[in-house]
Amino acid sequence: MAKSSFEYVKTFELDDTLLPNSWIVVRLDGKCFHKFADDHNFKKPNDIRALRLMNYSAYSVLKEFNELLLAYGQSDEYSFIFKKDCNLYKRRAAKLLTIVNSKFTSSYVFYWRKFFGDEELKYPPTFDGRLVLYPSQENLIDYLKWRQADVHINNLYNTTFWALVLKGNLTPSQAEKRLSGTLSADKNEILFKEFGENYNNEPEIFKRGTLLTRKCIIDEESKKSVKIIADVHDDMLKNNFWKDFSVHLMKPK
């Protein structure tokens, strides 16, 4: 079996090593998740079961790959950040992209029942992924701020939209028209005046998304230091957050 006469095809696989000393971000997005959410009766505007399943799947990725520093998720997307000196798989792009993508996806299906109980998973979902490099800590922080600003904008819109539809009895297209051209302040006012809702009182996980980070805590009993993965729903747009937090970026572990 002249395997060797075909082996030349291996040389067509080109080297995709990533630039050293830069942060590696892998972002996953649910494919066709509008339909997926409808097919699985996701609550509007936010389904806490779905968010917790996303978070738990991300947690399972972080637990597996130590070179991952943190992860940030919202809605049907999740970003994973590798340490800037990460050398896992010699920084080969396709490897890093697919192991995160695959582990997240399989966890999503595997743990579905844990969060959705009797709501059965009807078909296997798909997440796509992309990989981006950030050369400086400032760029990386701006990336996370960008994703969190996105949560805010989308969630305020969705919260108001679904209040108009579910409580205000508008049709979706009427609600869309009503919100067209409105600013944040307008939406806050609609929520408050028409539905008695204070957007500020919405759960932090809806307004801010979820940041998963590694922490060391002292175990009460054993008095020993234990590494854990913690979920945080803080305001990352405030610079104060990063003053306290940036140590995590620089000195992982």
Span 65-84, contacts to its own copies by CB under 8 A:
none
Return the number of the residue (9 or 216) whose C-beta is nearest its own copies: 9
Q: Which amino acid is it at 89?
A: Y
User: Cα–Cα distance between 78 and 80 in angstroms, integer?
Assistant: 7
196 touching its own copies, by CB under 8 A: no
Question: Which two three-digit tokens encode residue 117?
Answer: 């109980």
Return the number of the residue (126 or 198) whose C-beta is nearest its own copies: 126
Q: How far is the CB of 201 from its own copies (least distance, A)?
A: 18
94 touching its own copies, by CB under 8 A: yes
127-134: strand order across its sheet: 127-134, 23-30, 77-82, 68-74, 210-218, 225-232
Q: How far is the CB of 225 from its own copies (least distance, A)?
A: 27
DSSP string, 149-201: HHHHHHHHHHHHHHIIIIIT---HHHHHHHHTT--HHHHHHIIIIIH---GGG
Which residue in the set 75, 107, 159, 160 belongs to the binding site for its own copies (CB under 8 A)?
107
Return the number of the residue (59 or 161) whose C-beta is nearest its own copies: 59
170 touching its own copies, by CB under 8 A: no
Return the number of the residue (43 or 130) whose C-beta is nearest its own copies: 130
Q: How far is the CB of 246 from its own copies (least distance, A)?
A: 16
Which residue in the set 35, 123, 222, 225 belongs to the binding site for its own copies (CB under 8 A)?
123
b/e code 63-87 from CB counts within 10 Å (16+ = b): eeeebbbbbbbbbbbbbbbbbbebe
246 touching its own copies, by CB under 8 A: no
DSSP element (H, E) containing 67: none
DSSP string, 17-59: BPPSSSEEEEEEEETTHHHHHHHTT--SS--HHHHHHHHHHHH
Site string for its own copies, 129-168 (x = CB under 8 A): xxxxxxxx--x--xx-xx--xx-xx---------------
Return the number of the residue (157 or 162) whose C-beta is nearest its own copies: 157
Cis peptide before 124 (omega within 30 of 0): no
252 touching its own copies, by CB under 8 A: no
| Site residues, its own copies (CB under 8 A) | 1-3, 6-15, 17, 19-22, 28, 31, 60, 64, 94-95, 97-99, 101-103, 105-111, 121, 123-136, 139, 142-143, 145-146, 149-150, 152-153, 184, 237
